[in-house]
Structure 1
Amino acid sequence: MEIHHNDNELSLIRLCKKGDAKAQYRLYKLYCKGMFNVAIRLTNDKSLAEDVLQDAFVKAFTEIDKLQNEKAFGGWLKRIVINRSIDVTRKEKTFYAEVESLGNDELEIAVEIDSEFSPERIHHYIKQLPDGAREILVLRALEGYKHAEIGEKLGISESTAKTQFFRAKQLLEKMIQDETRTGKIFERATANA
């Protein structure tokens, strides 16, 4: 999420550092939608994502004095949301099985997504992934974390993070292929009727 900083946003952050509730509300309104999207992708649960969002903003406004670079507020808040989401999913007992590393040829996945697939459709499939796979896929593919960082955050090995990521991609690819195949079969069946 890229937000262009302006003087108004920076002044809101400064006012928040002084405990100004109106400034906190306005800053919340600027960031709540994007941060909710991050939380929902990681938790896959609207209620949990709302809790994460509330906890993250409370923590951010409580610890805003620790923020040295006011222009980094968005990234700092996003890290809080991601860390809180991970904490919540751990409490919900998301497990990551330690597995052997896959061979290099198994890691090569050619995913070609037809231009007919909208981001909403892809998001729909991501939400259907098992919790651990979804969380790792979101952290790696959407949030840009490295496998070592994911492993550290989730308390798993780097190789497990890699393997789970590639398996998540495989599952996602299979769901997309199944829909494409089903859609084509359906189109042929209706054309022949």
Structure 2
Amino acid sequence: MFQIDIVEQCKRNDRKAQLKLYNQYCHGMFCVAMRFLKNEDDAEDVVQESFIKAFSRISQYRGEVTFGAWLKRIVVNKSIDFLKSKQLTTVELNEGYMHIAEDEDWTVDDTVTVNEVIQAIGNLPEKYRYVLQLFLVEGYDHHEISEILNISYTTCRTRLLRGKGQLKEILKSNKYVARS
């Protein structure tokens, strides 16, 4: 039976013809979805939704391209829509919920000067640089820094801890070995 005959039968809502088309294209469409989604369960869902859409709109199929090409476009669009919807539900990580390990050791090698530390602080990412500068150089506490930078107390402590770690790495790379 020719593909056009099967498609025509599907347009008449023939379930056996739909099953034939499904069996003919499901594996190939699954591979297409997998290239986008990289997850078998998500790919299976997208393929199923694509076939449902294809069969419900099969009357729109004009035969200008092969049925497989028409179906593939549906699968690709459904995959992209799935990825977009997944991005919309992705929540930005809030540093305020992170556990902070207490580490109050701020000692560095005696040969490191204040100016070298200040210069190293200047090489940190902005969010860490400001917290470290306010804490180490200006002498503010966590509550004051939180108010100045309009961040939570926990976020301030987290950024200070991470900034300190990055500062030690910068000092180490500059041959000013920070003690652990």
Normalising by the smaller structure, the TM-score range is 0.3 to 0.5
Higher CA-based Rg: 2
| Normalised TM-score (structure 1) | 0.44
Select the structure that is richer in helix.
1
| Normalised TM-score (structure 2) | 0.47
